[in-house]
Amino acid sequence: MNPKLRTAIDFGPLIAFGLAFYLSDQNMFIATAAIMAATLIVLPIGYSIERKLAPMPLFTGVIVMFFGGLTLILKDPSFVMMKPTIVYGFFATILLGGLVRDKNFLEMVMGQQLELPHHAWRTLTFRMVGMFIFLAILNEIVRHNMTMDAWVKFKIFGATGIFFVFNLTQVPFIMKHMPQVEEDETDKGE
């Protein structure tokens, strides 16, 4: 899939959530309905392009619908605010559970894009587990101790920024463990 389209599909619901929250004078119920609607739009678009539903976006979509539905039905925004904690905790549990059973799910998902030795995948997975646990705890701290506006800003910019920076900090480790490509003498122009 085109990287720009993938980014739009991955971040479209979050952007819809943020825009709806601030354009509706910080109405969490309108923002929740917006993220649910955007999720229902992007999942079929992703499927029509890739001819499959990737497990992580599908799981996240189900969780958005479940907790968003609870938020709207019970008129309680805490449900949608705890959704990130559940998602981060689920991903950490799945990755760690896979390692315990000697299955590296991160390698299974990303192994076609990156060629790394088994020990590097394990290290990267442990780091990812730590990052997800950190984000889950941080979401709960912000959710319980900050205003709704602060939580929305954290969700849109803070958590996304932390995830982005975390991935950038892993690039040197990944580069160090990628197989070295031997330059062919004919490629040197000799």
- Identify whether 29 is part of a domain: yes
DSSP structure class, residue 185: G
- Identify whether 99 is part of a domain: yes
Residue 90 shares a structural domain with residue 69: no
Residue 123 shares a structural domain with residue 147: yes
Based on the structure, what is the number of domains in the chain?
A: 2
39: domain range?
Answer: 1-75
How far is Cα 190 from Cα 182, in angstroms, rounded to an integer? 15
Residue owning tokens 């990628």 = 178
Residue 51 shares a structural domain with residue 83: no
- The SS3 call for residue 21 is helix
Question: What element of type H or E holds 150?
Answer: helix 148-153
- Identify whether 190 is part of a domain: no
Q: In the prediction, which pLDDT does 182 show?
A: 55
Select from 42, 75, 108 the last residue of a domain.
75
Entry pTM: 0.86
Q: In the prediction, which pLDDT does 1 show?
A: 64
Residue 49 shares a structural domain with residue 116: no
- Identify whether 185 is part of a domain: no
- Identify whether 186 is part of a domain: no
How far is Cα 103 from Cα 85, in angstroms, rounded to an integer? 24
User: Percentage of the chain with pLDDT > 90?
Assistant: 76
Residue 83 shares a structural domain with residue 43: no
Q: Which residues of the chain have pLDDT under 50?
A: 184-186, 190
Residue 69 shares a structural domain with residue 89: no
How far is Cα 63 from Cα 138, in angstroms, rounded to an integer? 19
Residue 33 shares a structural domain with residue 116: no
Select from 75, 90, 118 the last residue of a domain.
75
Q: In the prediction, which pLDDT does 185 show?
A: 47
Residue 98 shares a structural domain with residue 148: yes
Between 160-177 and 118-145, two packed helices, what is the crossing angle to 10 degrees?
Answer: 170
Q: In the prediction, which pLDDT does 181 show?
A: 62
Residue 70 shares a structural domain with residue 152: no
Select from 41, 58, 75 the last residue of a domain.
75
Q: Is 67:16 a contact under the CB 8 Å cutoff?
A: no
- Identify whether 156 is part of a domain: yes
Q: In the prediction, which pLDDT does 51 show?
A: 85
Q: In the prediction, which pLDDT does 9 show?
A: 84
Residue 65 shares a structural domain with residue 97: no
